[in-house]
A and B are shown apart, each in its own frame.
Chain A
């Protein structure tokens, strides 16, 4: 495909916009995935280990946090975005723009990641916890030396899932001036009747999701030592 042809289909001004929007999407998704993991990982570890009979048994706290996580996860993202505007303003100083959009994205991602980490940790063979306890490990050592390292392949796959779903969510933050690919697609492709821009946005998003998924699969495979490789 020659550059001339590309320029006739999508005007250079819009091409510029596409590049910028891709950058914004990567920025929002990247930062919120990072922050979401920062909060979600310990939360997930706590949810998995605070159940009755586990190493940090605290059933009441477990149930309360579980309920909060479920509530956040059941709120539709677009409603979450507007509902927490005062909180967003408190954290980001503004409720509008790309950086502000990171706040609701993170709040949506953290509980999702927490549940993924929780299930990954609960999959770890209880025999390993027993072995670590028999060695005289403290509960914290069990988490850092046994549970999290053993759950890494599942956590990597789960984080990939979270990033993909964050890419989807990021398309909605145009509602609060967040910008990014989804916003561009709505404004030009839909509101200005430019189906070729819509198509370009969709193709870019597909490419993005594909590469995220492939990278995630690759990392998970590298980390997974549970089965013999030929």
Chain B
């Protein structure tokens, strides 16, 4: 991204939290968190973050490493206190509780970790029992609950296996069962699929969606992978340098990413990737000599089923070449991406972009190639 776009991003007002359609279970109000490491420069991990997560929603929070994602989860479960602002979960302001009260509140918030964090000395069943033991649940009750949970995540056969004897996906199933043991209303997933292969990731996401549907669970997914958000999240918030730079329904964010960071994330998963030979030659400024511009067009919903390209060609009567294209489904809606090459002179390019705008299509000039 160019310097101008970044400057705009920095000075932009923080995005206000749109109200979810259902009453919020998690609400962050203008949360900031600063660290003052001894001998180091002060760090702002979170800057004026407002976020509301409705009951039964799956919300993805995406950001690069260092964007403040981990701090955000730790504030939601009360392991860390905001420097300013409030964190409300259910009907308690967790950020204002005493350590003892926060411990009780945490039992109502399940947490799933990237590296599973299972006790090596306990079996699958033993690990699932841990939060129940911590909560002081009677032994007999723990036994029945653990069996129930093993069934829920499909690990009844593996009940007496130790983590070292389980695959990554099985370990994460144990992690999920453990997080659900105390019947929490909220599940926090911190990079829960980042250590898993794509196939296993898919299965774990399917499991998360199923338990959300069955238990009406509210899920917050912290991730750096847009594919995860695309696969499962109802809404998404993009975190960049401690700020929420964009948030909204997943489909809208994918269809019309406004912030440069969001665009970058979106381009990692939608069919907007350039063939490598072209990407290597791509220039931000027009090239002298034979010059073609690459334009990315995104079309959504009904548009995806229409003969968009032939209309454009008819309207402006130029030769245009398809570089890459894809139609996929996000949140149950069709979402298409098309990259075309057109003559790169200013007049033609302007004609193309205004024609696209007339057809109510989103377009972006990616750059120029010889």
Residues of A at under 8 Å CB distance from B? 125, 127-128, 130-138, 141, 145-146, 149-150, 152, 223, 225-228
In the complex, chain B residues whose CB is within 8 Å of the CB of A131 = 111, 113, 117
Once the chains are docked, how many angstroms separate the CA of A125 from the CA of B120? 10
Taking a contact as CB atoms under 8 Å apart, the answer to whether A134 and B111 are in contact is yes
Q: A145-B133, A225-B164 are in contact. Are A134 and B77 (CB under 8 A)?
A: yes
Taking a contact as CB atoms under 8 Å apart, the answer to whether B79 and A225 are in contact is no
Q: From DSSP, what is the main secondary structure of chain A's interface residues?
A: helix
| B274, chain A: closest CB distance, angstroms | 39
Once the chains are docked, how many angstroms separate the CA of A152 from the CA of B119? 12
Chain B residue at minimal CB-CB distance from A146: B119
Can you give 17 A-B contacts (C-beta < 8 A)? Answer: A125-B117, A127-B113, A128-B119, A133-B79, A134-B79, A135-B106, A135-B130, A135-B131, A135-B134, A135-B182, A136-B131, A136-B135, A137-B103, A150-B121, A225-B163, A225-B164, A226-B120
| B124-147, CB < 8 A from A | 130-131, 133-135
Taking a contact as CB atoms under 8 Å apart, the answer to whether A223 and B121 are in contact is yes
Taking a contact as CB atoms under 8 Å apart, the answer to whether A135 and B107 are in contact is yes
Known: A133-B79, A228-B165. 19 other contacts (CB 8 A): A127-B115, A127-B117, A130-B79, A130-B113, A130-B117, A131-B111, A131-B113, A134-B77, A134-B79, A135-B106, A135-B135, A136-B103, A145-B130, A145-B133, A145-B134, A149-B119, A223-B121, A227-B164, A228-B164
| B322, chain A: closest CB distance, angstroms | 48
| A97, chain B: closest CB distance, angstroms | 41
| A145, chain B: closest CB distance, angstroms | 7
Select one of B104, B107, B121 contacting A149, CB under 8 A: B121
| B93-129, CB < 8 A from A | 103-107, 109, 111, 113, 115, 117, 119-122
Chain B residue at minimal CB-CB distance from A149: B121
In the A-B complex, the 9 residue pairs with the smallest Cβ-Cβ separation, listed nearest first, are A136-B106, A131-B117, A127-B117, A134-B111, A135-B131, A136-B107, A136-B103, A225-B162, A226-B120
In the complex, chain B residues whose CB is within 8 Å of the CB of A141 = 134
Q: Digit string of B158-171 for contact with A (CB within 8 Å is 1, else 0)?
A: 00001111000000
Once the chains are docked, how many angstroms separate the CA of A138 from the CA of B111? 17
Once the chains are docked, how many angstroms separate the CA of A228 from the CA of B122? 14
Chain A residue at minimal CB-CB distance from B73: A134
Once the chains are docked, how many angstroms separate the CA of A138 from the CA of B106? 11
Taking a contact as CB atoms under 8 Å apart, the answer to whether B104 and A136 are in contact is yes
Taking a contact as CB atoms under 8 Å apart, the answer to whether A152 and B121 are in contact is yes
Chain B residue at minimal CB-CB distance from A142: B134
| B108, chain A: closest CB distance, angstroms | 9
In the complex, chain B residues whose CB is within 8 Å of the CB of A128 = 117, 119
| B104, chain A: closest CB distance, angstroms | 6
| B177, chain A: closest CB distance, angstroms | 13
In the complex, chain B residues whose CB is within 8 Å of the CB of A150 = 119-121
Once the chains are docked, how many angstroms separate the CA of A226 from the CA of B105? 32
Once the chains are docked, how many angstroms separate the CA of A225 from the CA of B120? 6
Select one of A127, A136, A223, A228 contacting B134, CB under 8 A: A136
| A147, chain B: closest CB distance, angstroms | 10
| B155, chain A: closest CB distance, angstroms | 17
In the complex, chain B residues whose CB is within 8 Å of the CB of A152 = 121
Select one of B104, B106, B164 contacting A134, CB under 8 A: B106
Once the chains are docked, how many angstroms separate the CA of A138 from the CA of B134? 8
Chain B CB count within 10 A is highest, among A135, A138, A225, for A135
Q: Digit string of B45-84 for contact with A (CB within 8 Å is 1, else 0)?
A: 0000000000000000000000000000000010100000
Taking a contact as CB atoms under 8 Å apart, the answer to whether B117 and A137 are in contact is no
Once the chains are docked, how many angstroms separate the CA of A166 from the CA of B103? 43
Chain B CB count within 10 A is highest, among A131, A132, A141, for A131
| A130, chain B: closest CB distance, angstroms | 7
| B300, chain A: closest CB distance, angstroms | 38
Once the chains are docked, how many angstroms separate the CA of A133 from the CA of B74? 11
Chain B residue at minimal CB-CB distance from A133: B79
Chain B residue at minimal CB-CB distance from A223: B121
| B332, chain A: closest CB distance, angstroms | 33
Q: Digit string of B182-218 for contact with A (CB within 8 Å is 1, else 0)?
A: 1000000000000000000000000000000000000
| B91, chain A: closest CB distance, angstroms | 18
Chain B residue at minimal CB-CB distance from A227: B164
Once the chains are docked, how many angstroms separate the CA of A207 from the CA of B127? 40
In the complex, chain A residues whose CB is within 8 Å of the CB of B109 = 134
Once the chains are docked, how many angstroms separate the CA of A134 from the CA of B94? 13
